[in-house]
Structure formats: structure tokens, C-alpha cells
Chains A and B, each alone.
Chain A
Amino acid sequence: EAQVTQNPRYLITVTGKKLTVTCSQNMNHEYMSWYRQDPGLGLRQIYYSMNVEVTDKGDVPEGYKVSRKEKRNFPLILESPSPNQTSLYFCASSSRTTTGEQYFGPGTRLTVT
């Protein structure tokens, strides 16, 4: 089954404790992205990747890091989380060569206290 998986689905952590949210897709997609969704602000892109080792900043990259060492994985790293990073996070992937349909992961709800 074609899918994007994210782990963990729920995470409560404390300010300053480094964390990684993993994202993996099994569709051999070139494009992958991370988004955050906040009430009243909608979805905003954090980082995106066009292929292995090719990443770029989205609209709200501050406080986040990403890496794309393998085509299927695109982890999101919060080196020193702060309460303003409490949010719902989505990973997504799409193909460069086909319809461009976006495939979203199920979301990760992060709370930073």
C-alpha cells in the first residue's frame, strides 16, 4: 500500500530536549516536505526536498533542521524545542514525474512544555 508514515504520532516533551520526527514514504517519490498546522494560521511549509541531499527552506524554517540522506526518509529535527513549536506536523511526498498528487502522512501532534 502506498503510504507516508510518521513517528511518533503524539509526543509531549520539555523545552530544550532534542527530538526527531521521522517520515518515510514507499512510493519512490522525489519530493518530500514538512508542514506545521496551527489554529488560525493554517498549514505552513517548514522545509522541502527535491531529492536526496537537496533541501530548501519553506516559510517557517526557524528552529528546525532536516536531512535527506535516503530517498525514502526525511526526518525533522528540533535541536532545542520551545513551546512555540507546539503544533500538528505533517510530512508529505509527491512524484516529480507523474500527476503531482500530494500524499500526506497521518500527522504528529507535538506538545512542548
Chain B
Amino acid sequence: KNEVEQSPQNLTAQEGEFITINCSYSVGISALHWLQQHPGGGIVSLFMLSSGKKKHGRLIATINIQEKHSSLHITASHPRDSAVYICAATPLGTSGSRLTFGEGTQLTVNP
């Protein structure tokens, strides 16, 4: 069993829909990252969370430390949001450069 698990693995939505991607982890963590991998392969960092909630434009990330769960929400989805979304965790007691990854969620937003 992976220490970090994501769901769903694949998600297809219509433009404008509200999207939620979930990430659960089984170990104590000091930080949780959400990453986006574009169809061309490049990876960008969306959020780093240790508690609470963060918002950037149409993207919202939340984390519940007690439940060991994080969600990434996309409001008013657009075809350009089509990408692979990856969560990654830094286990407690390790340095900030140690990351364990979920399998990724392939999101397709149709016009």
C-alpha cells in the first residue's frame, strides 16, 4: 500500500464543472504538495500546505491533518486545466526535500 494515495485516477469533466481530486496519506507529514504536470511533461508546483486552506485563482487546496486527507478543487473548470495532478507528502522527521508521491490523477476537461 502506498503511503500516499489519490483518487480518482482518471476524471473527465465538462467545461464549467466543479472538480475535486482527493489525496490520502498514511504517515505523519510536515507538508503536502499539489503539483500539475502538463501534457508536454513539465511539472509545476501549485500549492504547499501544512494546515488549513490555500487559494490561487480558481484553484483551492485544503488539508485536514487529523483525517490525513487533502483535496484539490478546481472551480469553473476549463479545457486548459486538462493535466495530471499529483499530490506529494514530506514525512515527519525528514527534510523538506524528501517527497513521497501519489499516483496522479489524469484530468480531462471537455469544451
- Listed in ascending order, the chain A residues whose CB lies under 8 Å from chain B are 30-33, 35, 42-45, 48-50, 56, 58-59, 88, 90, 92, 94, 96, 99-104, 106-107
B103 to A102, Cβ gap below 8 A?
A: no
Q: Does B42 contact A (CB under 8 A)?
A: yes
Distance between A14 CB and nearest chain B CB, rounded to angstroms: 24
Q: Is B60 part of the contact surface with A, judged by Cβ < 8 Å?
A: no
Stretch in B11-19, B69-77, B92-100 with 4+ CB within 8 Å of A: B92-100
Interface residues in B, total, Cβ within 8 A: 21
The interface residues of chain B lying within 8 Å CB-to-CB of A58 are 98
Question: Which residues of B line the A interface, CB within 8 A?
Answer: 31, 33, 35, 41-45, 48, 86, 88, 95-104
Please tell me if the beta carbons of B48 and A32 are within 8 angstroms of each other in the complex.
Answer: no
How long is the Cα–Cα vector from A107 to B38 in the complex, in angstroms? Answer: 12
- Give the shortest distance, in Å, between B73 (CB) and chain A (any CB): 19
- A107–B37 CA distance with the chains assembled, in angstroms: 11
CB of B89, distance to nearest CB on chain A (Å): 11
Contact status A100-B48, CB under 8 Å: yes
The reply to whether B97 and A50 form a contact with Cβ atoms under 8 Å apart is: yes
Q: How far is the CB of A108 from chain B (nearest CB, A)?
A: 11
Q: Are A106 and B100 in contact (CB under 8 A)?
A: no
A48 → chain B closest CB, angstroms: 4
**B103 and A59 contact, CB distance less than 8 A:** no
Residues from chain B with a CB closer than 8 A to the CB of A100 are 31, 33, 48, 96
A104 touches B100 (CB 8 A): no
Write out the residue numbers on chain A whose beta carbons fall within 8 Å of the beta carbon of B48.
Answer: 99-102
List 10 extra interface pairs beyond A33-B97, A35-B99, A58-B98, CB under 8 A.
A43-B104, A48-B95, A90-B43, A94-B96, A100-B48, A102-B35, A103-B45, A104-B35, A104-B45, A107-B42
Whole-angstrom CA separation of A48 from B66 in the bound complex: 28
Interchain residue pairs A-B with the least CB separation, the first 6: A31-B97, A104-B43, A48-B97, A43-B101, A100-B48, A102-B45
Query: Which single residue of chain B is at the shortest CB-CB distance from A109?
Result: B41
B86's nearest neighbour on chain A, judged by CB, is: A43
**Chain A: CB-nearest residue to B98:** A48
How long is the Cα–Cα vector from A66 to B66 in the complex, in angstroms?
37
